[in-house]
Amino acid sequence: MQKKESHNTICSYCGVGCGITVSKDIRGTLSVHGTEDYPVNKGMLCSKGKNLNYVAQDISDRILYPKMRWSRNHSLQKTTWDIAFKRAAAVFKSIIDKHGPDSVGFYVSGQCLTEEYYLANKLTKGFIGTNNIDTNSRLCMSSAVVGYKKTLGEDAVPISYDDIELADCFLIAGANPAWCHPILFRRLEKHKEDNPKVKVLVVDPRKTQTSALADQHLQILPGTDVILFNAIARWLIERKKIDTSFIRKYTSNFEACKQSAFQLTLKQAAYQCGITTEEIKKAAKLISNSKRFISMWTMGLNQSVIGVDKNVALLNISLLTGQLGKPGCGPFSLTGQPNAMGGREVGGMANLLAAHRDLGNSQHRKEVEDFWGGKPIKKEAGLTASEMFNALESGKLKAIWIICTNPVVSLPNARKVEAALEKANFVVVQDISHKSETTKYADLLLPAAGWLEKEGTMTNSERRISYLPKVIDPPAEAMPDVEILWRFAQEMGYKGFDYNSASEVYDEYCLMTKGTNIDISGLSYERLRKEGSFQWPVPHKLHKGTPRLFQNHDYYTSNRKAHFNAPKKLYNQSEQTNTEYPLILNTGRVRDQWHTRTKTGKVKRLLTHIPIPYLEMNKVDAFLHGLKEDDVVVVSSRRGSVRVKVKINFDIREKVVFLPMHWGKILKNDFSRANNITNDLVDPISKEPDFKYCAVKVEKYEKP
């Protein structure tokens, strides 16, 4: 009889990247617990991670066989993999022959493993000959990518989770890690419990479980982050609380930062932010008194029409105070998805190339072309997430291949996304679950292997690369995504896709990083299995990884200095409220749900926290609207509406309402889908959507 076996892997939810030990008993039943000696979580797991065994074992919603339909008038019918690949290749070839390579696109996900991300990019940019490959990570952290590149020269998160226990002051902006990065937050919380002098500042228009820990909560008006960060910078400069030696030796462009910071007085800034000058001064003092200061942020800054400006304004504070390249300090963007970072590394966006190479750099393009031996790579960026669906709607894009993501629920202005998919000539959906609302639009539906059913690697928020083993077989004919991609490439007749394993794909990618700033040529599956996780770079086989970057202050910019950037816009550029749409809608996550609930929605105990979507509203606004707790309301914008129950409190600012983004179509309709009402605006550089701000009205629902 087989013994109980255990495997160490990584949680498939958020970018914290906790280690999970999966045990399989003699009947094949799975159980999970936090890996005791894994450096990220040290045995802890949050509610989502603790229930992953149920998700992995429940195959009731799984796509089991390839399915295909010959026209939109027909339903999907079971087919074979051979026919599915032949059909996909025939349609893609015919569209490319007729309309050119830019008429097709791939939309992938921060939940893809690194090997899958890498191969999808090689296929698209190197062989099909289009840069039309983008990812749902565009919706999470593309503004942070640009912010890092502008400031540090590359998309390089400088610090580690271990720096948390060394820091004495934290500024958490536009993030609720208590719910969205729970284990990271637990480390911070424990550090503060053990060291009462540690200060935490939280910037958020809402009171949250994160702000409950704060020494100071700056409850600013939505969209005023740049003004706040600039005001803090101004106070630091005026009071000479800046590190002049650091600025002189290791930075450039300080004057531009100063000029930007001095555009508004503290009084003007406080008015714009909806807080007092005393609050700004107090925050600036706490930061200036700190010896080791960490800023943390996520969607509240990134998902904005001025997301890049918010990022650079915050990064300027680390540079002003010289809090970079030393233990216990630095700017730390928290990634939302488990492998958003891995995707960034392999160039998994329409404007990136593998190993942090740039599309616009001819030398970089040549290096990649020579390595892959495919077609010349175009220097122009391809279509980004929202642009891809706009192009489908306009007819410029004819075919789209969607991998491991549910754009019908997760993209802004979702009705437009549905219309775009209706109009597409050919839609391939490669996923694990029928529950994804996007599967409805598939002409070809491909069953992918899920978590534990395939091997590969992921990188978490602190640049930590971990190996995920295959523990169980995929159900029926589900296939690892990496194999689906190489078999499609082979069917297209492309050379260089004759892999036999994910390990071969990984070895190729590691080799490609050689000599770059994210060199991981010292890694292999064998080493990751034997020695555990590593933080990049890992440039040779004896190298132990790099927990902290820039300790020698040699930044990746052209002048090797960290670069101050003046935000282009101080003021928010989102759509305006007016008398018809007088409230500002903010969207976000709740503790026990994940993205569009295709996984967490299957676990009953995760529904005990918050079972249905809701609208959070200030008591004053509720009174003015004649609403009481649990009344059903219709929330409408210029684009659409949702119908949910209202939750009333003083936690949210007046004239601001909040709606969770997870729900799609409960109640057999789409009345709860937050993205019915969000808008099409994106940051002009990062192209990240403006999910955190749109003008809405709220009315009590009256049954017809």
Binding site for ligand SF4 (CB under 6 A): 11, 13-14, 16-18, 41, 45-46, 48-49, 181-183
Give the DSSP H or E segment for 318: helix 307-320
Q: Which residue is nearest to ligand SF4 (CB)?
A: 49
Pick 11 or 312: Cβ nearer ligand SF4: 11
Strands (E), 167-326: 169-173, 199-203, 216-218, 251-252, 293-297
Residue of 89, 189, 204 lying closest to 484 (CA atoms) = 89
Closest separation between CB of residue 348 and ligand SF4, Å? 20
Pick 338 or 522: Cβ nearer ligand SF4: 338
Pick 32 or 264: Cβ nearer ligand SF4: 32
Residue of 458, 567, 509, 447 lying closest to 146 (CA atoms) = 567
Residue of 135, 173, 65, 1 lying closest to 475 (CA atoms) = 65
Closest separation between CB of residue 287 and ligand SF4, Å? 27
Burial class (CB in 10 A: 0-12, 13-18, 19+), 515: exposed
Give the DSSP H or E segment for 489: helix 481-491
Pick 114 or 574: Cβ nearer ligand SF4: 114
Pick 18 or 146: Cβ nearer ligand SF4: 18
Pick 14 or 385: Cβ nearer ligand SF4: 14
Residue of 343, 276, 323 lying closest to 117 (CA atoms) = 343
Closest separation between CB of residue 480 and ligand SF4, Å? 21
Decide: helix, strand or coil at residue 316: helix
Closest separation between CB of residue 20 and ligand SF4, Å? 7
Q: Which residues pair with 297 in a beta bridge?
A: 173, 333
Closest separation between CB of residue 381 and ligand SF4, Å? 31
Express the helix, strand and coil content of the chain in percent, nearest 5 each: 35, 20, 45
Pick 46 or 408: Cβ nearer ligand SF4: 46
Closest separation between CB of residue 635 and ligand SF4, Å? 28
Closest separation between CB of residue 313 and ligand SF4, Å? 28
Pick 49 or 331: Cβ nearer ligand SF4: 49
Closest separation between CB of residue 516 and ligand SF4, Å? 27
Residue of 240, 233, 238 lying closest to 257 (CA atoms) = 233
- Please answer whether residues 438 and 444 qualify as being in contact, where contact means their C-beta atoms are separated by less than 8 angstroms: no
Give a three-class secondary structure readout of 537-550: CCCCCCCCCCCCCC
Closest separation between CB of residue 332 and ligand SF4, Å? 15
Pick 251 or 337: Cβ nearer ligand SF4: 337
